[in-house]
Amino acid sequence: MFYFTVDILGTIAFAISGVLVAMEKKLDFFGVLIIAFVTAIGGGTLRDLLIGNTPVVWMRDSVYMITIIITVILAILFVKQLKYLRKSLFLFDTIGIGLYTLVGIEKGLDAGLSPLMCIALGTITASFGGVIRDILCNEIPVIFRKEIYATACIIGGASYFILNQLPIAPNYAFVIAILIVIALRIIAVKFNIRLPNIYRS
Amino acid sequence: MFYFTVDILGTIAFAISGVLVAMEKKLDFFGVLIIAFVTAIGGGTLRDLLIGNTPVVWMRDSVYMITIIITVILAILFVKQLKYLRKSLFLFDTIGIGLYTLVGIEKGLDAGLSPLMCIALGTITASFGGVIRDILCNEIPVIFRKEIYATACIIGGASYFILNQLPIAPNYAFVIAILIVIALRIIAVKFNIRLPNIYRS
Amino acid sequence: MFYFTVDILGTIAFAISGVLVAMEKKLDFFGVLIIAFVTAIGGGTLRDLLIGNTPVVWMRDSVYMITIIITVILAILFVKQLKYLRKSLFLFDTIGIGLYTLVGIEKGLDAGLSPLMCIALGTITASFGGVIRDILCNEIPVIFRKEIYATACIIGGASYFILNQLPIAPNYAFVIAILIVIALRIIAVKFNIRLPNIYRS
């Protein structure tokens, strides 16, 4: 139940982030719906494909698709309010990233992968939806250019494995790791921390 | 046999649509071949991956690849004639969409998916080849911007499940649903029907 | 062991080619790492997904990821030297293509595919990483526009099946086919051989 709630919250957060990007590109209703859908399920779909977990999760359980459709309709109806919430694009995206990173790690553990691969799988789950969203909108994916994004997923993911070595209930470790991902990204953007420039000139 | 014929006709229709787009981009022979190939098998490949039906269909049966290669060679040889047939790009694309939507639904039923997911799978089968084609040619996928496209797939797909409730032979329901998809798209373009604008300003 | 060495060499070659392209786009460290990673494992990942070989190879064996991370760090540290080696982008890419084509064919044979599909699978393994790299960097994939690229993979791949009919040790046939792919591409670029123009006007 706990796990399921996290998954649905992440789906809603990413779907809204997809709607906001798609509406800037002036796509029609189905364009917006598809971008929202792909942003929300893209990372989890690639994760399921990579570990051979098919049919992929959203095809076995209609709750994801129904959640996304309702989210998109509500987001479009209240678009005026959403437009005043520029910062929410960032916030929803960030919450989604935190949630999905840990969901991906959980699935990697279920598939018997090593911690290193679980962290990679969590990072893919968290970031690939946004990558597809940007590719479909014909832009260089934002995570390659700006902000400490993958770094937050990787540090948060690693902290989950460290926390599990301590005498902490697994659910707490799970939530703390999610908050670490979210906090890292917010701090990085707030204080404009970027990865060191690797270009000499 | 009936089913197989439909599948091959869709492959030819989509391959030609791929050739026409690729030639506008002045790609070389293999560029044209690959775009035609991806347009023709992209939707079915994603469909097979999502439901875990591997090796994907075109790898198990050479007939698809051979069909595409012959189609591309013929399309290039008769390019002058094709160029006069601007409208054929639209027509071939539309026929392919109708055929693939129903092929995808059929596969979803075989995989035991719910009607909602079968319709989604049909829409993916029909539209994803064109999406990849546009991404590879560095354009925002046309289906996100123009025309009632996914809508036609969804309504046609839903009509198949409704028709199956009526006392109609399954093959007839299959063909009627294909024609509904094709008719919807032609009517939408002919009368310039678009989805309602969702932007206030 | 022989096979494994070939695989790792191809990984290094492609990762460096990814670093060089990503640095031209001024991506940050993780952007460079991800592009290098995707360039190196993209083709093999699609190959594994298409034949249903999951979890995909790089998730089961950490050696690929560790190889890529070390390669990227070294490539960035010695970027000044690399910048003088413009031609190395081409050379590394070409070596990677030759190696991956044959690795892909080998996997296709293991999966029981026909020679035609093995050659297609080898070509996909060799070229798809570069295709994703270019899509992520928002460019029309270079293999669709320039140089005899897929042609080299296909001729080299076909030559492997021909060589296996002759009284030659399989490992020799494997290496000779790799060299044929590499030689064909170098000759094509050196003498500016291109596929015949298919446009009348």
Q: What residues does each domain of chain A span?
A: 2-190
Identify the pLDDT of residue A201.
45
Identify the pLDDT of residue B137.
80
- Band of residue B115 on the pLDDT scale cut at 50, 70, 90: very high
Identify the pLDDT of residue B107.
93
Identify the pLDDT of residue B89.
66
| Chain B contact partners (≥3 CB pairs within 8 A) | A, C
A59 touches B: beta carbon within 8 Å? yes
On average, the pLDDT of chain C sits at 85
CB-based contact A141:A131 (threshold 8 Å): yes
Q: What is the DSSP string of A51-84?
A: HT--S-HHHH-THHHHHHHHHHHHHHHTHHHHHT
CB-based contact B148:B188 (threshold 8 Å): yes
Nearest chain C residue (CA) to A149: C30
Give tens-digit pLDDT for B135-148: 888 777 766 666 57
* Preferred mutation among C21, C25, C26, C30 to probe A, highest tally of A CBs within 10 A: C30
- Band of residue B199 on the pLDDT scale cut at 50, 70, 90: low
Identify the pLDDT of residue B100.
92
CB-based contact C99:C4 (threshold 8 Å): no
A44-59 mean pLDDT: 93
CA dihedral defined by C41, C42, C43, C45, rounded to 10 degrees?
Answer: 80
B52 touches A: beta carbon within 8 Å? yes
Instruction: Count CB atoms within 10 A of the CB of residue A142.
Output: 16
In angstroms, rounded to a whole number, what is the distance separating the alpha carbons of residues C171 and A85?
62
- Band of residue C111 on the pLDDT scale cut at 50, 70, 90: very high
Would you state the structure tokens that stand for residue A108, as one six-digit string? 């990697």
**Is pLDDT at B150 greater than 90 in this prediction?**
no
In angstroms, rounded to a whole number, what is the distance separating the alpha carbons of residues A91 and A40?
15
Identify the pLDDT of residue C13.
85
Identify the pLDDT of residue C40.
93
B102-115 mean pLDDT: 93
Identify the pLDDT of residue A85.
65
| Chain C contact partners (≥3 CB pairs within 8 A) | A, B
Q: Which residue has the tokens 């009368």?
A: B191
- Looking at chain C, list the stretches that DSSP marks H as alpha helix, in order from N- to C-terminal side: 2-24, 29-51, 57-60, 63-77, 79-83, 86-110, 115-136, 150-163, 170-190
Are the beta carbons of B135 and C135 separated by less than 8 Å?
Answer: yes
Size of interface A-C (CB pairs under 8 A): 72
CB-based contact B53:B67 (threshold 8 Å): no
Q: Which residue has the tokens 């779909």?
A: A45
CB-based contact C118:C157 (threshold 8 Å): yes
Are the beta carbons of B23 and C199 separated by less than 8 Å?
Answer: yes
Identify the pLDDT of residue A184.
93
**Which of A143, A197, A200 has the CB atom closest to C80's CB atom?**
A200
C144 touches A: beta carbon within 8 Å? no
Identify the pLDDT of residue B86.
63
A181 touches C: beta carbon within 8 Å? no
In angstroms, rounded to a whole number, what is the distance separating the alpha carbons of residues A80 and A82?
5
C142 touches B: beta carbon within 8 Å? no
In angstroms, rounded to a whole number, what is the distance separating the alpha carbons of residues B144 and B47?
19
Least confident interval from B27-31, C52-56, C72-76: B27-31
Give tens-digit pLDDT for C89-107: 677 778 888 999 999 999 9
**Which of B49, B114, B200 has the CB atom closest to A62's CB atom?**
B114
In angstroms, rounded to a whole number, what is the distance separating the alpha carbons of residues A102 and A111?
14
On average, the pLDDT of chain A sits at 85
Instruction: Report which of residues B70 and B94 the model is more confident about.
Output: B70
**Is pLDDT at A188 greater than 70 in this prediction?**
yes
**Which of C50, C149, C194 has the CB atom closest to B59's CB atom?**
C50
CB-based contact A28:B194 (threshold 8 Å): yes
Percentage of chain C exceeding pLDDT 70: 89
- Band of residue A39 on the pLDDT scale cut at 50, 70, 90: very high
Least confident interval from A73-77, C26-30, C87-91, C121-125: C87-91
Q: Which residue has the tokens 């994907």?
A: B56
**Which of A149, A196, A198 has the CB atom closest to C32's CB atom?**
A198
Instruction: Report which of residues C28 and A128 the model is more confident about.
Output: A128
**How far is residue A91 CA from its own chain's centroid?**
11
**Is pLDDT at C200 greater than 60 in this prediction?**
no
In angstroms, rounded to a whole number, what is the distance separating the alpha carbons of residues B47 and A55?
10
Are the beta carbons of A137 and B140 separated by less than 8 Å?
Answer: yes
Identify the pLDDT of residue A113.
94
- Band of residue A65 on the pLDDT scale cut at 50, 70, 90: very high
CB-based contact B19:B116 (threshold 8 Å): no
Would you state the structure tokens that stand for residue A182, as one six-digit string? 């979210």
C26-39 mean pLDDT: 86
Give tens-digit pLDDT for A113-168: 999 999 999 999 998 888 888 888 777 776 666 657 788 999 999 999 999 998 88
Q: Which of A84, A67, A80 is nearest to A33 (CA)?
A: A67
**Is pLDDT at B42 greater than 70 in this prediction?**
yes
Give tens-digit pLDDT for C135-181: 888 777 766 666 577 889 999 999 999 999 988 887 899 999 999 99
**Is pLDDT at C88 greater than 70 in this prediction?**
no
Are the beta carbons of A31 and B111 separated by less than 8 Å?
Answer: no
A51 touches C: beta carbon within 8 Å? yes
On average, the pLDDT of chain B sits at 85
**Is pLDDT at B198 greater than 80 in this prediction?**
no
Identify the pLDDT of residue B113.
93
B60-81 mean pLDDT: 90
Instruction: Report which of residues C50 and C200 the model is more confident about.
Output: C50
A161-182 mean pLDDT: 91
One-letter identity of residue B199: Y
Identify the pLDDT of residue A6.
73
Instruction: Report which of residues B170 and B57 the model is more confident about.
Output: B57
Least confident interval from A106-110, A135-139, B143-147, C32-36: B143-147
